[in-house]
Chain A
């Protein structure tokens, strides 16, 4: 391992390049602070019955995280509240300190898309979207939000996407990765159609509960397996999206995989090409190689950064995936955060650095920015 014992000297924020962070997690200080955006009927429902999201615990974890609230221990706001719940602290601790010019918020605490009660799912998604615009993106222009949608109910999701289409505060539609059926399934197609029509990418953040075991061979014992397992479940998800042909059906669709890792994509694309060549009689709706759909329609955020030893192996993988496909992300304030100063171990050209840390993100989330003054 080319491990440095002494890292790069601290650099003052003013001299650092502006970057994009494509995975920031905010949350209300208390869940009930969302209530003012929610109809009384659903407040009462939540008080009486809670959230039911295809997992067994209503509080407390089945896989305890490694640290409280799955967060960096230095990210708890001094004035109290959960990590990520205080905009002022997030500004100084993260946005200013790392010179973040574009921060994409991904609301997963909770993302109500997997709730069993579809009406509650839709109502809470609406409330969260109103909340994040009123309390996060309006006060802080560096931050943009993702439209959380009740993804197990495509019709309601489409309504929510249409409600926000054209809003400068919203830069993507957000789903979670563990769904009731694989995400290429036609029950989800209206979501892709609506997102493409609105010019919005569909971001899919790892996590969620689909109701079936988190692997093809049942439930694992440990949190480490669950975390590593997101790479496997997202591989199956990408397979589904490609093989079902959503990119052939919706040519304008752009998909961003968030916090799923990325090194696995190269091998998966090779495997898909190989299998499709053999089995293509099954999928006549595909007119191009699976790897071509992946290359043209899928982006990935970088956190948790791949850390091969030697780190030069990372360069091979990025070259296979494409330097234009990766969007830098920190996952702030979560414990497996990637630091912008240290996460990328490779020596980059200026062009690669610009693409990796901000250019690709702007291409995906603010298309047309290169032509703006």
Chain B
């Protein structure tokens, strides 16, 4: 590990349990939890005991991983020496079918993050959890948090009801662009559609693997629908995507764009160029080849040193030991990944926090 203080672009504090949110819910929703016996909102994207969900040395004897500030400090911020870390809270808010209920729990999650984490630890920043089920309510939540510079990003899941490029979602991008927030798309699904294009798989291994395909779909959608034409300054960050799929995906998209662009005439430059200006990807997991020489080839295929952002994906088990950087990264790239690229991506990280 170098001595650089990195900006960790993807960590996952756990909501300890639903009860922890009760103080942050409005009366009606607090009563709903009690009356209707709601116990948890945990998604099958990260089963509690699955090896991937928490690294063994980050798995507490009791309770969830990364559920207290002490855990986050001792296991993540201090050991990796991070200058800043962005909290992406994965709680099953997006899975709910009631739009109002989703909005209420998104509000509570964001309030919890602000009060329990951001207020107490200056190295932390966060993404705004929004009820993607209802775009108007999602925009309301963005507006509610936008005045707090510690919220630097809007958090969406890689699979939802419709592809994210669809115009129905554009008010979210307009709000993000207005407030210089990035759009973070994180692995996970609302499970409102089957988790793969060919239906429900038998195994969790397949579901998690399929996240890479979901990111590919979303990238196609955002580009083809013209989101970056409409919001040229918008930055989209693909979080926990695996990222080594990117070159092959862009080859195919670019090839078909050349012959089919009349369908999407607003896309007036190659998808490779669009990604270079508007899309970034977090480092962990690196779904890389077994040898570092091949990983260097993959990085060359990216044809840009600006795309990758440092991340530990704490507490998910993506690597062992103290160094999240895979072997094979050219030294010149390391500084960019750890510091320069995150700073260039997250406009709000440069803003003073009161």
Q: Which residues of A are in contact with B by a Cβ distance under 8 Å?
A: 66, 177-185, 210, 212-225, 227-229, 231-233, 235-237, 239-240, 243-244, 261, 263-264, 266-268, 270-276, 278-279, 281-283, 304, 306-308, 313, 316-317, 320, 335-336
Contacts and interface: CB of A to CB of B under 8 A. Distances in A.
B203 A217 contact: no
17 contacts: A180-B199, A182-B206, A183-B198, A212-B193, A212-B194, A215-B193, A216-B194, A221-B166, A222-B263, A224-B257, A228-B249, A231-B248, A244-B203, A268-B245, A272-B209, A278-B52, A282-B203
B206 A274 contact: no
B255 A225 contact: no
B205 A275 contact: yes
Contacts of A276: 205
Nearest to A231: B252
A225 B163 CA distance: 10
Interface of B: 50-52, 158-166, 189, 192-206, 208-210, 212-214, 216-218, 220-221, 224-225, 242, 244-245, 247-249, 251-257, 259-264, 285, 287-290, 294, 297-298, 300-301, 317
Contacts of A281: 51
A236 B264 contact: no
A216 B214 contact: yes
Contact of B256 (A183, A184, A224, A263): A224
Given A178-B198, A218-B193, A267 B287 contact: yes
A182 B301 contact: no
Given A282-B205, A283-B205, A231 B249 contact: yes
A348 B119 CA distance: 61
Given A210-B198, A239-B201, A220 B217 contact: yes
A320 B294 contact: yes
Contacts of A264: 245, 248-249, 252
B195 A313 contact: no
A273 B196 CA distance: 19
A221 B301 CA distance: 29
Contact of B164 (A217, A239, A272): A217
Nearest to A276: B205
A167 B67 CA distance: 63
Contacts of B262: 66
B248 A267 contact: yes
Given A228-B220, A320-B289, A215 B214 contact: yes
* Residue of A184, A213, A270, A313 with most chain B CB atoms under a 10 A cut-off: A270
A227 B220 CA distance: 11
B91 to A, nearest CB: 19
A103 to B, nearest CB: 24
B282 to A, nearest CB: 15
B134 to A, nearest CB: 16
Given A212-B193, A212-B194, A232-B216, A217 B251 contact: no
B52 A178 contact: no
Contacts of B247: 263, 308, 313
Nearest to B263: A222
B242 to A, nearest CB: 5
A281 B52 CA distance: 11
B217 A232 contact: yes
A13 B268 CA distance: 39
Nearest to A186: B202
A225 B285 contact: no
A237 B263 contact: no
Given A210-B197, A224-B257, 17 more contacts: A182-B196, A183-B198, A185-B202, A215-B217, A216-B210, A217-B193, A224-B260, A228-B220, A232-B214, A263-B248, A267-B244, A267-B245, A270-B288, A270-B289, A282-B203, A313-B247, A317-B248
Which 6 A-B residue pairs are closest in the complex by CB-CB distance? Answer: A233-B197, A263-B248, A236-B196, A271-B287, A232-B213, A216-B159
Contacts of B189: 216-217
A333 to B, nearest CB: 16
A217 B162 contact: yes
B287 A179 contact: no
A236 B252 contact: no
Contact of A235 (B51, B212, B263): B212
A51 to B, nearest CB: 21
B289 to A, nearest CB: 6
